[in-house]
Amino acid sequence: MEIRADTQMPLRIARVLDVAEGIRSFELVQPDGTELPPFTPGSHIGVQTPGGAVRKYSLCNDPGERHRYVITVKRDPNGQGGSISMHDEAHAGDVLATSPPDNAFPLVDNARAYLFIAGGIGITPILSMIRSFAGLPAAPWKLHYLTRSPESTAFADELMRPQLRRHVHIHHDHGDPEKSFDLWPALEKPNTAHIYCCGPRPLMESVRDMTGHWSPANVHFESFNEGGGVKPDDQPFKIRLARSGLEFDVPVGKSILATLREHGCNAPSSCESGTCGTCRTTLLSGDADHRDMVLMPEELSERIMICVSRARSPELVLDL
């Protein structure tokens, strides 16, 4: 993700608040105190961390608020440094470059019911959705909020307030996979509810596997794993664009989409994390290493989400 110079918004950190163990909220405001561009539930902004990396963070405050954005960041000691920089180097009063709100996880506003599934810091976009219901006769909703322990559960006090607690189920697994919550009873019978899931990859994959019999239009995922992340056995590979005959090398650590852009080829994208479906591309040959959350099993041999997926074969041929 990049912050484009022509749309960049410098925002001042007005307040920093520890909301759980290793999890910190940052309230961002216009330096001159004016209103911010509006946002919808599920939106994110890009933030250039003090260390220089650009990261995508969900806005977790009520979208009705016009003078602040609130982002919440979990310090990840094994990450690539963005969250560590935010925790260790971003202080109240500092000004950070940001990009305006964008939404790849929009809340369907006429759903008959909502089922929210949040794993850990994945609560952030869902919190803005729940907060947007305040004072409104929202459709029935339920939140399963899965975290490691009470200490690592951000916003538990708010979610356990009398108005919300009947909708909210919080489960702690204490790091023991044997104690993970069984979502199957909630997902076994498809219905007209819209499911919103955000959290660690294994949780989202498990929800995807358990919702194969739901309408795909009713199941929504949000991931912050831009470009699909790097896996230890990733290899470079080639892509060939069948229509132009152009060939490019895709190195480790760079997505097909980023490689195309680098060479001046435009391809539509939105989430850039394999969850929205915008970059669906026809795969003409080659063995794809699918890393998205949107393709159905029957599409895997002929389609690829170029923002996150890679190759198991030395070359992929794309219908571009």
Residues at the site binding ligand FES, with contacts judged by CB under 6 A: 269-272, 274-279, 292, 294, 305, 307
Q: Using the CB atoms, write b or e for 3-36: b if 16+ within 10 Å.
A: beeeeebebbbbebeebbebbbbbbbbbeeeeeb
Minimal distance, residue 228 CB to ligand FES, in Å: 9
The residue behind tokens 């009705």 is 64
CB 24 within 8 A of CB 49: no
42 to 16, 39, 224: CA distances (angstroms): 21, 9, 12
| 25 vs 269 by CB, closer to ligand FES | 269
CB 171 within 8 A of CB 145: yes
| 194 vs 303 by CB, closer to ligand FES | 303
| 105 vs 114 by CB, closer to ligand FES | 105
| 73 vs 294 by CB, closer to ligand FES | 294
Minimal distance, residue 221 CB to ligand FES, in Å: 10
25 to 88, 154, 158, 245: CA distances (angstroms): 13, 10, 14, 48
Minimal distance, residue 267 CB to ligand FES, in Å: 9
Minimal distance, residue 255 CB to ligand FES, in Å: 9
| 48 vs 269 by CB, closer to ligand FES | 269
Minimal distance, residue 274 CB to ligand FES, in Å: 5
